[in-house]
Each structure stands twice: as structure tokens, then as C-alpha cells.
């Protein structure tokens, strides 16, 4: 396979990246074999990348669909490989974020470039994974989200998905990811005597970042306001509706979803969808919740689940008013409407166990 160097301004959709695109500090921004799209070009320009290596045109695919929809067109073996690839990228991002967060905890300083690189890596993974990203996130967090780094990475990933559903520009999504990554940074520097206050980290995080050079103001506002509620019942200021920054409203939804969906040993997103459908009429932003709930619901169709009576099956339909009680087709062919069936509920997604063992 031959490759050549090309200026970013000369890229066209359909070209294929021949070598990983690296940041100034050596972090991977875009991986090899990623198909160029208008969004990819926009990202490269935003990152001030002038030239990249691409595969020679004679070997370039003519369609973007193979990169944008891997899960939809691949056979089972390819899907498995795609899962493993994402899992490794995700685990690498968590490891890097943990190192940055340990630095903050020990030095009480923000490693800005390292965190921006991690944000780039998250968005690069989102772009290269395409529509399958939410499917992978629903099974990737194989451990309890009891550490700030792991939770923050997941919130950043989920926030980026919401940002794309809301058609935010690439530059906006990048700042949103950085804000999601740092939303709980105050927990790393919180004083011992303040540990019992549930929202001390909000103030501490804002104080830590307010004098950091080159930190976007949107990040600071997101950290300060991600526990505010649309009805004014949140903390720390009781801000209402449009007084809350849009990024903070997105992060609030991502934070709520991850905290609720990963309360046990395995992910169970079904109860949280029902909770969110109620909370969006008061505490959460309805304009953020509705498209996200719809997206997660669509991703869960055909997902394999384990029921409380130990039967396994697939989700085939969602009841509009009972998102936690969908219709299930068991592996033996029995149709069960959980909304009309007492004492049977979904315990977890069964493919959660797959990635835990794949590592």
C-alpha cells in the first residue's frame, strides 16, 4: 500500500489516512485507516495540522459508508474486532486521564495540554467509531465508575454524543468534551473537612480553573453549573433555565445517565431512561434529554439482555410510557411485554461480560 503526504487544505472526502496523526506532544489525534470526511478536515484545521499522510488514491475506498457504519455492514467477526479496538482506545484514554488527574491531585495544578490531548483522543475515537459509539459505551465500562477519571471520561464521551445529536460545530464539541472531562475536577482538590458536602467540588473546581491560562470560559461555566437544575432547585447558585450554560445542561444529562446506569456490577441503562423521561420536565433540559433518550433507545433495540428469571433475549420494542419495561423476545422465541408482566425485569445487558473478559 503506497502513501503520500498531502496538505490538509487539499484533502477531499473519501481519502484514507495512511499514518496516525499526532499532536505536538505525541498523542494520537486520528488513527490510521480513518476515512476523511468534511468533519475530519474541520478537526484537522482546528488542531492546526498542516499536512498528513494519506493512502494513494488508487487504493482509496469510494464510499464513506464503511467507516461510518461498521456495525451495520460488518459480519460478526468484524464487529468483535471493532469492539476490541474501541475497548483498547477507551482504556488508553482512561489511563491517560488517570495520570493527568493524579498530577492535579498531587500538584494542585492543571496539565492543560495533556487534558486537551485527551479530549482530542476522545473525539477522534467518536469520529472513527461512528454511529456504533453508544453501543460500545453501553458495554465498555466493565468496572464500577467509582473513580473520578473513569467517570469523567465516560461523561466526556456521552457529552460528545449529545453534542453531535444537537448538531454543534466541531470546535464547540471539542470544548464540550474538555468541560465534561473536567466537570468533577474539584473532587481532586477538595479539603477533608468539606468531604461531607455533596457539591463542594463545584466551587473548588471553578476556583482551580479560574486563573488557568487558555482555559475556555465555557469550561469554567460548565464546571460551576453542571449541578444546577432547570427549575432552579440545583446548586450552587440556584440558576434557572437559560441562565445555565448550554454545555452545563448537556454535562448534567451525561452525568445523570452515567451515574444511574452504572450503579451495579454491570450496566443497566433501562431504569435511567425512565428516570430521565420524568426528570426532563423539571430538573434536566428537555431539549437535551429528548434526542439523547431517543438515541440510546434506538441503540438498545436488538440488544441482548438478561431477565430477572435468568432467561435471555433481545429488546424488540419500547413502550413509550415505560422505557424501563420494553418488549422482549426470549432466545426460545417467547414474546414478553415487561410493562404487562409482574415480577420480571431486566437485570443487565448480557454482552457487558464479553468485554470484561476480552481484556
Per DSSP, the residues of 73-87 read: HS-HHHHHHHHHHHH
Cell of 347: 437485570
With beta carbons less than 8 A apart as the criterion, state whether 111 and 100 touch: yes
User: Quick one: 240 exposed, middle or buried, by C-beta within 10 A (0-12, 13-18, 19+)?
Assistant: middle
User: How far, in Å, are 137, 252, 271, 289, 305 from residue 140 at the CA level?
Assistant: 5, 21, 18, 22, 15
Is it true that the peptide bond before 128 is cis, omega within 30 degrees of 0?
no
Neighbours of 317 (CB within 10 A): 11
Q: What share of the chain is helix, strand, coil (3-state, %, to 5)?
A: 55, 15, 35
pLDDT recorded at residue 197: 65
Cite the beta strand spans of the chain per DSSP E.
Answer: 3-7, 21-22, 28-30, 51-55, 304-307, 312-319, 322-330, 335-337, 346-349
Q: Give the closest residue to 5 by CA, choosing from 55, 72, 78, 68.
A: 55
pLDDT recorded at residue 325: 95
Cell of 81: 474486532
Rounded Cα distance between 175 and 147, Å, is: 22
C-alpha angle with apex 302: 296 to 307, nearest 5 degrees?
Answer: 95
pLDDT recorded at residue 75: 34
Q: Give the closest residue to 177 by CA, choosing from 211, 227, 216, 146.
A: 216
With beta carbons less than 8 A apart as the criterion, state whether 236 and 248 touch: no
Cell of 321: 410510557
Torsion angle of the four alpha carbons 264, 268, 274, 276, in this order, in degrees rounded to the nearest 10: 70
Residue that has been written with the C-alpha cell 428537555 in this structure: 286
pLDDT recorded at residue 36: 82
Consecutive 10-residue averages of pLDDT for the chain (359 residues): 85 86 71 76 73 73 38 36 77 89 91 92 87 81 64 95 94 95 87 60 85 89 92 88 95 94 80 88 91 93 91 92 93 94 89 46
Largest Cα separation within the chain, whole Å, is: 65
Rg (CA), the chain: 21
DSSP states of 242-311 as a string? GGS-HHHHHHHHHHHHHHHHTSSSS--HHHHHHHHHHHTTTTS-HHHHHHHHHHHHHHHTT-EEEETTS-
With a CB cutoff of 8 Å and minimum separation 6, the contacts of 46 are 170, 171, 174
pLDDT recorded at residue 68: 36
pLDDT recorded at residue 127: 86
pLDDT recorded at residue 70: 33
User: Quick one: 217 exposed, middle or buried, by C-beta within 10 A (0-12, 13-18, 19+)?
Assistant: exposed
Q: Map residue 352 onto helix, strand or coil.
A: helix
Residue count of the chain, please give it: 359
* φ, ψ for residue 183, nearest 5 deg: -60, -30
- What's the DSSP call for residue 340? G
Give this prediction's pTM: 0.77
Rounded Cα distance between 191 and 194, Å, is: 5
Amino acid at each position: 500500500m503506497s502513501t503520500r503526504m498531502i496538505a490538509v487544505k487539499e484533502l477531499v472526502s473519501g481519502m484514507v489516512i495512511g499514518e496516525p496523526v499526532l499532536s505536538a506532544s505525541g498523542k494520537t489525534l486520528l488513527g490510521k485507516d480513518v476515512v476523511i470526511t468534511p468533519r475530519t478536515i474541520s478537526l484537522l484545521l482546528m488542531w492546526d495540522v498542516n499536512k498528513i499522510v494519506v493512502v494513494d488514491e488508487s487504493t482509496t475506498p469510494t464510499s464513506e459508508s464503511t467507516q461510518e457504519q461498521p456495525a451495520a455492514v460488518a459480519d460478526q467477526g468484524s464487529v468483535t474486532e471493532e469492539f476490541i479496538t474501541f475497548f483498547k482506545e477507551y482504556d488508553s484514554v482512561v489511563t491517560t486521564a488517570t495520570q493527568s488527574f493524579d498530577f492535579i491531585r498531587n500538584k494542585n495544578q492543571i496539565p492543560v495540554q495533556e487534558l486537551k490531548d485527551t479530549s482530542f483522543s476522545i473525539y477522534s475515537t467518536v469520529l472513527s467509531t461512528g454511529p456504533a459509539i453508544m453501543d460500545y459505551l453501553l458495554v465498555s465500562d466493565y468496572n464500577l465508575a467509582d473513580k473520578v477519571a473513569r467517570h469523567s471520561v465516560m461523561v466526556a464521551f456521552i457529552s460528545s454524543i449529545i453534542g453531535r445529536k444537537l448538531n454543534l460545530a466541531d470546535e464547540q464539541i471539542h470544548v464540550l468534551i474538555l468541560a465534561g472531562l473536567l466537570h468533577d475536577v474539584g473532587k481532586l482538590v477538595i479539603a477533608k473537612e468539606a468531604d461531607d458536602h455533596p457539591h463542594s467540588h463545584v466551587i473548588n473546581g471553578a476556583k482551580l480553573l479560574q486563573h488557568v491560562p487558555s482555559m475556555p470560559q465555557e469550561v469554567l461555566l460548565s464546571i460551576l453549573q453542571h449541578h444546577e437544575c432547570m427549575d432552579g432547585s440545583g446548586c450552587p447558585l440556584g440558576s434557572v433555565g437559560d441562565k445555565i450554560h448550554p454545555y452545563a445542561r448537556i454535562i448534567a444529562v451525561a452525568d445523570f445517565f452515567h451515574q444511574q446506569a452504572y450503579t451495579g456490577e454491570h450496566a443497566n441503562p433501562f431504569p435511567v431512561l425512565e428516570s430521565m423521561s420524568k426528570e426532563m420536565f423539571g430538573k434536566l433540559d428537555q431539549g437535551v434529554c429528548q434526542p439523547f433518550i431517543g438515541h440510546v433507545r434506538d441503540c438498545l433495540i436488538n440488544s441482548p439482555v438478561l431477565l430477572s428469571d435468568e432467561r435471555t433475549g433481545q429488546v424488540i420494542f419500547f413502550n413509550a410510557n415505560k422505557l424501563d419495561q420494553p418488549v422482549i423476545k426470549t432466545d426460545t422465541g417467547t414474546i414478553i411485554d415487561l410493562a404487562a408482566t409482574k415480577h420480571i425485569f431486566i437485570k443487565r445487558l448480557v454482552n457487558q461480560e464479553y468485554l470484561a473478559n476480552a481484556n
